[in-house]
Amino acid sequence: MFCNKCGKEIPNDAVFCPVCGNPVNLSGGSGQGYGQGPYSTEVTRKFPYIKRRSIALCIFFSIITFGIYGLYWYYSIANDINTVSITEDTSGGMVVLFSIITCGIYSIYWAYQCGAKVDRARGLEESNNNIIYLLLALFGFSIIAWCLIQNEINQHASY
């Protein structure tokens, strides 16, 4: 069978599309599973290949590794928020690389863009998440923005 959202072939016993994470209908299709539409706030989409991360442990490991784990966490957040919001945006590796090359300027832009991705993952039209993330990044509190984004990703993670 094929996914109604992305058109990729999926196994017959799949609960979610392995490419886009869209729920599969019991009637054999996918897409508007559960009768709610792809961006419903009543049904939270679960992505079987996204790992739930402890925010406190991520901060702790970032501190004791002098930021090396923080780069990995940043990479993971960028990839996971793209998956949760079903966008094919800049990959996690490129986000980290661009942030390093631009001495953090790209990370401010990325934080702003994540607001729209979080809204899309929640099924909202528009909110002030992008402004909140932008201000946190501008004033040097990017890690708080990462925590908020990770919290949103954890709501969609399946394990």
Mean pLDDT of the chain: 83
What mean pLDDT comes out for the span 64-93?
Answer: 93
pTM of the complete model: 0.71
Q: In this predicted model, what pLDDT tens digit does every residue of 124-142 receive, in sequence order?
A: 777 888 999 999 999 999 9
pLDDT at 42: 40
Alpha helices by DSSP H, listed for the chain, are 55-64, 68-84, 92-101, 105-122, 129-138, 142-156
